[in-house]
């Protein structure tokens, strides 16, 4: 089975009627795959015939018919054309509720009002999920499982319509969260848009660096630059649509950098080490606020297992953890080029750590670190 066809098992949908998905890229095709998996009749539309055919070939839905009568329309197009496409869909389907999955929410709503569209049939939404790769070929029906799905209500929207978008999110395994458009844009600037900029700026420092330096890269650099591989064209649009809020946060970030540079310029000055320690500790406090698995604040213990770079070894490790009866909460891999072993960082519940370490060592696994 193609990775793009991964989806939740067929369980029945909360949505009644056909769903039209406009835009067959990563998010649109993922929405469509997830809905198909719960039995929804999905109509696909895309400005590109090639994109549309590819998404249909992957099983994300079917082409439009003259007899179509969608009850819900999901618009998944780039931010700079979202309002225009939303307005066209609202006009073409006067009985349908319309939502979008754009990563900004103020601009589409304001754009619709400027166009004179019927905003009482529009509810903006945004699934906090994605991948560095785009297109239907990268789509997954399970992309949204356990992820927040923001629903941006505005004046005059009936509760029954909000419940339809909540049903969409729940059908796809996501967690619905109600926010105004303004609250949403301020929030994603902090947790999504600014991290993208900072990751890209950090990765930019690698250009022109000596190969010997880049060759020393470990998991820390990989973690902090992973999203720098994202599509620049898309992010130009996203950042442009949320520019003022992102710029405000970056100014504060610049102030923090200026403070840090001042400390490092005179590291032996009175109070410098304390100031540096307090700055780093504030980062500890901030990262502790990031929700854990399934949105909880529960923390896990980490152990690092050394895995030989031979076929089947990682699969054997995961199988044996299952045989031991410990649930794997998270997994991260580090494998530097030319090194004959990889490091698997396993996250488990704290109460399971001691038993898992003992049982893995008894089976011959080498534990590089435990109790992190």
Which pLDDT score is estimated for 169? 97
Asked whether the beta carbons of 146 and 175 are under 8 A apart, the reply is yes
- pLDDT score at 134: 77
Over residues 189-234, the pLDDT tens digits come to 999 999 999 999 999 999 999 999 998 888 889 889 999 998 899 8
Q: What whole-number distance in Å separates Cα of residue 165 and Cα of residue 161?
A: 7
Mean predicted confidence (pLDDT) in 16-43:
96
- Cα distances (angstroms) measured from residue 88 to each of 91, 94, 115, 276: 5, 10, 10, 54
Find the helix packing angle between 313-324 and 350-362, rounded to 10°: 120
Give me the mean pLDDT over the 254-269 stretch: 97
How much is the average pLDDT of 273-277?
96
CA 73 to chain centre: 22
* Strand ranges of the sheet holding 330-334, from the earlier edge strand across to the other edge: 330-334, 341-348, 301-308, 366-369
Nearest-CA neighbor of 157 among 192, 129, 121?
121
User: Does the pLDDT value for residue 9 go beyond 50?
Assistant: no
Provide the pLDDT confidence category of residue 337 given band limits of 50, 70 and 90: low
**How far is the CA of 235 from the CAs of 46, 204, 340, in angstroms?**
20, 16, 37
Residue 338 has pLDDT above 80, yes or no: no
Q: List every span in the chain annotated with CATH 3.40.50.720.
A: 3-179
| Percent of residues, the chain, with pLDDT higher than 70 | 93
Q: Could you tell me which residue, 93 or 347, shows the higher pLDDT?
A: 93
Supply the angle between the helices 49-57 and 26-37 in degrees, to the nearest 10.
Answer: 30
Q: What is the mean pLDDT of the chain?
A: 91
Instruction: Tell me the pLDDT band of 332, cut-offs 50, 70 and 90.
Output: confident
Assess whether pLDDT exceeds 50 at residue 16.
yes
Q: How many CB atoms lie within 10 A of CB 102?
A: 27
Degrees to nearest 5, angle at CA 105 with 100 and 149:
60
Name the pLDDT band for 1 (thresholds 50, 70, 90): very low
In the chain, which residues fall in CATH 1.10.3660.10?
187-259
Rounded to two decimals, what is the model's pTM?
0.79
Q: Which residues contact 352 (CB under 8 A, 6 or more apart)?
A: 301, 326, 327
Taking only the tens place, the pLDDT of each residue in 111-142 is 999 999 999 999 999 999 987 677 888 889 99
pLDDT at site 252? 97
Contacts of 361-366 with CB under 8 Å at 24 or more apart are: 363/320, 365/305, 365/306, 365/317, 365/320, 366/305, 366/306
Residue of 367, 371, 365 whose CA lies nearest to 316 = 365
pLDDT value of residue 372: 59
Fold of 187-259: 6-phosphogluconate dehydrogenase C-terminal fold (1.10.3660)
**Cβ neighbours of residue 114 under 8 Å, at least 6 residues apart?**
83
Say whether pLDDT at 6 is over 60: no
At 34-82, the pLDDT tens digits run 999 999 999 999 999 999 999 999 999 999 999 999 999 999 999 999 9
Is the confidence at residue 147, as pLDDT, over 70?
yes
What is residue 201's predicted lDDT score, i.e. its pLDDT?
97
| Domain 3-179 top-level CATH class | alpha beta
Q: Provide mean pLDDT across the span 164-178.
A: 96
Domain 299-369 belongs to what topology? Alpha-Beta Plaits (3.30.70)
Once rounded to an integer, what is the mean pLDDT over residues 334-359? 85
Instruction: Give the range among 9-18, 184-193, 318-327 with minimum mean pLDDT.
Output: 9-18
| Between 6 and 173, residue with greater pLDDT | 173
Closest CA to 75 of 100, 48, 105: 100
Pinpoint the residues of the chain covered by CATH 3.30.70.260. 299-369
């Amino acid at each position: 089975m193609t990775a793009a066809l991964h989806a939740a098992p067929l369980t029945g949908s909360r949505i009644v009627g056909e769903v039209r998905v406009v835009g067959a890229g990563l998010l649109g095709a993922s929405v469509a795959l997830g809905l198909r998996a719960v039995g929804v009749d999905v109509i696909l539309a895309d400005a590109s015939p090639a994109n549309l055919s590819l998404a249909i070939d992957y099983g994300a839905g079917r082409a439009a018919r003259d007899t179509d009568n969608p009850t819900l329309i999901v618009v998944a197009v780039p931010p700079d054309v979202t309002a225009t496409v939303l307005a066209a869909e609202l006009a073409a389907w006067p009985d349908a509720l319309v939502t979008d999955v754009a990563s900004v929410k103020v601009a589409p709503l304001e754009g619709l009002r400027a166009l004179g569209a019927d905003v009482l049939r529009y509810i903006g939404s945004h699934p906090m999920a994605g991948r560095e790769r785009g297109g239907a070929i990268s789509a997954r029906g399970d992309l949204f499982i356990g992820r927040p799905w923001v629903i941006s209500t505005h004046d005059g929207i009936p509760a029954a319509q909000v419940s339809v978008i909540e049903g969409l999110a729940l059908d796809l395994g996501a967690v619905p969260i109600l926010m105004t458009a303004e609250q949403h844009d301020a929030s994603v600037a902090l947790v999504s848009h600014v991290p993208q900029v900072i990751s890209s700026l950090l990765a930019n420092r690698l250009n022109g660096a000596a190969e010997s330096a880049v060759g020393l890269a470990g998991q820390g650099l990989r973690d902090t630059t992973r999203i720098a591989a994202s599509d620049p064209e898309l992010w130009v649009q996203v950042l442009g649509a949320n520019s003022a809020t992102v710029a405000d946060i970056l100014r504060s970030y610049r102030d923090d950098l200026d403070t840090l540079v001042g400390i490092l310029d005179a590291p032996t000055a009175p109070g410098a080490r304390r100031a540096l320690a307090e700055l780093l500790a504030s980062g500890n406090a901030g990262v502790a606020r990031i929700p854990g698995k399934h949105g909880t604040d529960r923390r896990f213990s980490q152990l690092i297992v050394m895995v030989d770079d031979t076929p089947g070894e990682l699969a054997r490790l995961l199988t044996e953890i299952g045989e031991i009866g410990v649930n794997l909460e998270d997994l991260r891999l580090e494998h530097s080029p030319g090194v004959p072993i990889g490091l698997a960082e396993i996250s488990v519940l704290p109460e399971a750590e001691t038993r898992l370490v003992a049982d893995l060592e008894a089976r011959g696994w080498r534990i590089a670190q435990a109790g992190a």
